Structures are given as structure tokens and as C-alpha cells.
Amino acid sequence: QTIDKDWMISTNSPMGPFMILDMVGLRTPYQMELNAYQTTKDEIHQTIAQKLKAMIDAGHVGQESGQGFYHYPNPEFKDPDFLKK
């Protein structure tokens, strides 16, 4: 949430990156990170893929499941004071 808040404040964007990931669903970014690792062998991509896989395995795939980086149907970023906290 801190990353999303900072992103939104500094870029004047209506959504932060983790909000977008939840909207897209975590399966797509997981596959992208796996592909990036297979292509580059850069360990950061494998680390990110493993973290996303853990969330997916737990059933936390984003908006469609009711949980990702946020909890739905009432995600924390809908709180009018989200950017003030």
C-alpha cells in the first residue's frame, strides 16, 4: 500500500501499480516474470515469480478472487483517507 500511495501522490495517478496488478489478476504478471527469468536468467524475476506464485497458490489472484494485494469488494484504497494515512 505504501508503494501505491507514493506512486499516486508523486505521479498524480488514479491507481498504483499493485492496484493495477489486482485488476489484471496475478496470473499474467506471474507468467511474464517466469518468461523474463527464462530469457535473462536475472534472479530478480525468479524471486518475483515465486512471490506471485505463493499468492496464486493461496487463491489470492486479485479482484476476481476477492483478495490480491488488497481485499475486495471493499479494497483499502477506496477509503477516502487512503492517501492521508
What pLDDT does 65 receive?
Answer: 98
Domain map (residue ranges) of the chain = 1-25+62-85, 27-60
What pLDDT does 85 receive?
Answer: 76
Q: Give the 3-state secondary structure of the chain.
A: CHHHHHHHHHHCCCCCHHHHHHHHCCHHHHHHHHHHHHHHCCHHHHHHHHHHHHHHHCCCCEHHHCECCCECCCCHHHCCCHHHC
What pLDDT does 78 receive?
Answer: 95
pLDDT tens for each residue of the chain, 85 residues long: 999 999 999 999 999 999 999 999 999 999 999 999 999 999 999 999 999 999 999 999 999 999 999 999 999 999 999 999 7
